[in-house]
């Protein structure tokens, strides 16, 4: 049996760390990114920069325009990205995004015969997205077991979420120990074309607090 | 609460019947089709013809090129469509297709605030696809409940599979009673641009046998 793994790679801090973990665990890695109409297109450029640092089997970028559905500040230019924390599920939530991304990862895993999918979801310093919770991931894995030819044939895919119980600070320390170059990553929801961060959105705040708490120099460049 | 429903509409016999059932059950229907790089592009034209027959809220066609993954005779021109029945899961299986389609339906349902998704999967006269089985659908619904804002807020989506236990003949009789115009539909895996069927693939055979068994005139036009 091979040791192939599909890694969802957004270009942010979390997914870069996840890729480093999968590589470190000895997998033959197939990175998967999406051009999904995200406002922060700098994220996708970051994914390409991060991917280039590792000996991957492949880095595939899939065109899947989620703006065709609308409904989120991250894909709908008519909804403003908030700069203040609000209770509940925020407008930056993209409907069913992780489900769509994991479903595509599942298709890719079947095609390249991978039994492992890595996704950098996090249930601690997260923004209240339902599709970042452990119970969601377990339910997806159970569904995937029944969905696929590999699952039916007794080789179900395993969904790995190595960051799910880590704080942002712990994620950064983990990546630092694995020599992740965080200067290549972009976390900001509204980064400019050069990848410079706004410093005001949820994602920027979690990132800055994480570096501060980890006691590691923050390489983020702000607008 | 509204009565909105998202209907996956491929343009084949099964999904046309499913749409007629959803309309007949009084839903406000949002039909969803995919331009996924299928060889049989006539199917998508059929979806548009079928959709035009019903008072839908909307018919949305999403571009989602599954040939970016490859791995199936239906999306990879290097794999021939078989004309003989073979044991096991056939090469016309598209990796994770129903999972990807249902995930997109889930996103669409969240955006239009629909609590119902209809999909015309069938576990009787089917081609051995794992993602057509009742246990798969149940697992998807369970995952969807945990994945979405609506699910978290106590309004989980329900996946309806009105055809899942029907034979092809029973599906055709059901649609006939609901005045479905099957002449508009295309089932063939390799229909020509005018929608004329090959008469040799699995899908053509199931369809022809279904009409014969139902005792209903078959409007299919062959090449």
pLDDT digits (tens, 9 = 90+) for B24-68: 999 999 999 998 877 667 889 999 999 999 999 999 998 888 777
Contact flag A96-B148 (C-beta cutoff 8 Å): yes
Residue-by-residue pLDDT tens, chain A, 223 positions: 799 999 999 999 999 999 999 999 999 999 999 988 776 678 899 999 999 999 999 999 988 887 777 655 555 555 555 555 555 555 556 778 899 999 999 999 988 889 999 999 988 755 567 888 999 999 999 999 999 878 888 889 999 999 999 999 999 999 999 999 999 999 888 888 888 999 998 889 989 999 999 999 999 999 8
Q: Which positions ≥6 away from A149 have C-beta within 8 Å?
A: A110, B89, B93, B95, B130
pLDDT at B179: 97
pLDDT of residue B3: 95
Q: Which two tokens stand for residue B29?
A: 């229907």
pLDDT at A15: 97
Q: How close does chain A come to B177, measured CA to CA in Å?
A: 32
Q: Using only the alpha carbons of chain A, give its radius of gyration.
A: 17
Could you give the number of structural domains in chain B? 1
Does pTM surpass 0.95?
Answer: no
CB-based contact A116:B109 (threshold 8 Å): no
pLDDT at position A69 is 76
The DSSP bridge partners found for residue B76 are none
Tell me which of B167 and A88 has the higher pLDDT: B167
* pLDDT at residue B212 is higher than 80: yes
pLDDT at A104: 94
- Subunit contact A107:B66, Cβ cutoff 8 A: yes
Minimal Cβ distance to A143: which of B64, B70, B140: B140
CATH code for the domain in which residue B169 is found: 3.40.50.620
Dump strand ranges (E) for chain B.
4-8, 28-35, 58-63, 116-118, 158-160
Q: Is residue B25 part of a domain?
A: yes
Any domain includes A143? yes
The reply to whether A129 falls in a domain is yes
Residue A162 lies in a domain: yes
Question: Is residue A26 assigned to a domain?
Answer: yes
Domain-embedded: residue B139: yes
Q: Across the interface, do B146 and A152 touch by the CB < 8 Å criterion?
A: no
Q: Examine residue A115 and state whether it is found in any structural domain, yes or no.
A: yes
Q: What is the DSSP string of B133-187?
A: SHHHHHHHHHHHHHHSHHHHTT---EEE-TTTT--HHHHHHHHHHTT--GGG---
* Mutation for A interface: B35, B58, B68, B156, most A CBs within 10 A: B68
* A221 within domain boundaries: no
Domain with B20 in it: 4-214
Radius of gyration of chain B from Cα atoms? 17
Residue of B nearest to A36 (CA): B64
- CB within 8 Å of chain A, chain B residues 100-159: 100, 102-104, 106-108, 110-111, 130-131, 133, 135-136, 139-140, 142-149, 151-152
């Amino acid at each position: 049996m091979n040791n192939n793994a599909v890694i969802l790679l957004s270009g942010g801090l979390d997914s870069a760390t996840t890729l480093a973990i999968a590589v470190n665990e000895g997998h033959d890695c197939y990175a998967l990114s999406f051009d999904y109409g995200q406002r922060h297109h700098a994220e996708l450029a970051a994914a390409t920069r991060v991917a280039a640092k590792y000996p991957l089997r492949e880095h595939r970028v899939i065109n899947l325009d989620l703006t065709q559905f609308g409904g989120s500040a991250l894909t709908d230019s008519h909804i403003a990205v908030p700069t203040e924390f609000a209770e509940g599920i925020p407008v930056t939530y993209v409907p069913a995004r992780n489900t769509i991304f994991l479903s595509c990862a599942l298709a890719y895993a079947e095609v390249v015969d991978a039994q492992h999918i890595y996704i950098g979801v996090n249930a601690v310093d997260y923004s209240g997205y339902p599709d970042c919770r452990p119970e969601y991931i377990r339910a997806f894995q159970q569904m995937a077991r029944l969905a696929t030819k590999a699952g039916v044939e007794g080789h179900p895919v395993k969904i790995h979420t190595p960051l799910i119980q880590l704080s942002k600070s712990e994620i950064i320390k983990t990546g630092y120990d694995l020599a992740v170059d965080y200067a290549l990553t972009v976390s900001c929801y509204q980064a400019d074309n050069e990848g410079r961060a706004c410093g005001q959105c949820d994602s920027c705040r979690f990132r800055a607090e994480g570096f501060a708490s980890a006691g590691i120099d923050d390489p983020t460049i702000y607008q």
